Amino acid sequence: MSALVSPEQLRSEQEAMLLLDVRWTLAGPDREGYRAGHLPGAVFCDLDADLAAPPGPGGRHPLPDRAALAEAFRRLGVGPDTRVVVYDGGVAAAAARAWWCLRWLGHEDVGVLDGGLPAWVAAGGPLETGDVTPTPAPSSPASSTGDLPTVDADDVAAGRVGVLLDARAPERFRGESEPVDPVAGHIPGARSLPTSRLLDGAGRYLPAPALRELFASVGADGDEPVAAYCGSGVTAAQLVLAAHEAGITAALYPGSWSHWITDPSRPVATGPA
């Protein structure tokens, strides 16, 4: 079942859903952008504070433990039976991280606004300004293991991942540019599939058949275990979401590159291969 929700579908069902605005960039959560204009009733979700543990040995955006994550969602208004739609400013990575986190907790009733805020505005959807104070849910969403798998550095190093996909921009994969982390390059054996290739010119996800072709073009057709990583586990969630739309199960390496390079003994590759 598709996780994507069109602006038109959202407008017809909005009153029955909790909307989470997860706008975020590499500079951090975009609360000011949220205050300047967001979907009516949408609650701001701070990716750094709500969807990640503090940076450290686990990387720049390590996963919080399940209980802490479930409590963060409860404070935002997500209960066991809450229908949730997440969106961001259109880049799609932050919304995918929120979708992934809820599914990882076992909360299945969550969708992603396809195209994010720009698609909503283009479809004539209204906006409101200021903050929306969340109404905490009486109880937390499911905090048991969901159906989205993870891998760690040991799995990657031991070759237990058949196809490892790197979601970052090609120049970061090749090691030509690294604007965030102290070491440039990629995990040896990884294949480049930047998230920019997942979207059409309007910022919406490609249709499922096109996504299947795209994943197959880098050897990820589902015959071997697939995992995704990026800089810190945010944009890689977008690859996992796109793989879901294509009918492929992909694991997330939550620590991603920012965790891989914390151990100098782990190898680093550069170049296009």
Which of 8-22, 59-73, 134-148, 204-218 is the least confident region? 134-148
Q: From the CB of residue 220, how many other CB atoms can be counted at a distance below 10 Å? A: 26
CB-based burial, 202-217: b 16+ in 10 Å, e otherwise: ebbbbeeeebbebbee
Give the pLDDT confidence score for residue 142 in this predicted structure: 74
User: Each residue of 113-155: pLDDT tens digit?
Assistant: 999 999 999 999 999 999 999 999 999 987 666 779 999 999 9
Give the pLDDT confidence score for residue 143 in this predicted structure: 64
Domain match, 160 and 118 both: no
Domain match, 67 and 177 both: no
77, 103, 122 - which closes a domain: 122
230 is annotated as an active-site residue: yes
Domain match, 21 and 111 both: yes
User: Each residue of 245-262: pLDDT tens digit?
Assistant: 999 999 999 999 999 999
Domain match, 117 and 13 both: yes
User: Each residue of 72-114: pLDDT tens digit?
Assistant: 999 999 999 999 999 999 989 999 999 999 999 999 999 999 9
- Catalytic annotation, pick one of 230, 236, 239, 241: 230
Whether 94 is covered by a domain: the verdict is yes
Domain match, 46 and 87 both: yes
Cα 248 from Cα 226, distance rounded (Å): 8
Whether 226 is covered by a domain: the verdict is yes
Cα 210 from Cα 245, distance rounded (Å): 10
Question: In this prediction, what percent of the chain has a pLDDT beyond 90?
Answer: 92
Domain match, 117 and 8 both: yes
Whether 42 is covered by a domain: the verdict is yes
Give the pLDDT confidence score for residue 78 in this predicted structure: 97
For helices 93-105 and 235-245, what crossing angle results, to 10°? 70
Whether 130 is covered by a domain: the verdict is no
What's the farthest any 2 CA atoms get from each other in the chain?
54
Half-sphere exposure of 30 (CA within 13 A, CB side): 21
Whether 272 is covered by a domain: the verdict is no
For residue 37, give its domain range: 4-122
Domain match, 118 and 160 both: no
Domain match, 56 and 111 both: yes
Report DSSP letters for 229-253, one per residue.
E-SSSSHHHHHHHHHHHTT--EEE-
CA dist list (Å): 245 to 44, 61, 75, 92, 178: 26, 24, 29, 14, 30
48: enclosing H helix or E strand: helix 47-50
CA dist list (Å): 165 to 4, 70, 105, 195, 230: 22, 28, 23, 10, 8
Q: What is the pTM of this model?
A: 0.96
Whether 271 is covered by a domain: the verdict is no
Give the pLDDT confidence score for residue 273 in this predicted structure: 78
Q: Is the pLDDT score of 206 beyond 70?
A: yes
Residue 19 is part of a domain; what is its CATH number? 3.40.250.10
Q: Which residues pair with 112 in a beta bridge?
A: 4, 86
**Domain count across the chain:** 2
Average pLDDT, the chain: 95
Residue whose C-alpha is closest to residue 2's, from 117, 106, 85: 85
Whether 189 is covered by a domain: the verdict is yes
Residue type, 107: H
Give the pLDDT confidence score for residue 220 in this predicted structure: 97
106, 122, 138 - which closes a domain: 122
User: Each residue of 177-197: pLDDT tens digit?
Assistant: 999 999 999 999 999 999 999
Domain match, 23 and 109 both: yes
Domain match, 172 and 101 both: no
Domain match, 118 and 18 both: yes
Whether 265 is covered by a domain: the verdict is no
Domain match, 90 and 161 both: no
Question: In this prediction, what percent of the chain has a pLDDT beyond 70?
Answer: 99
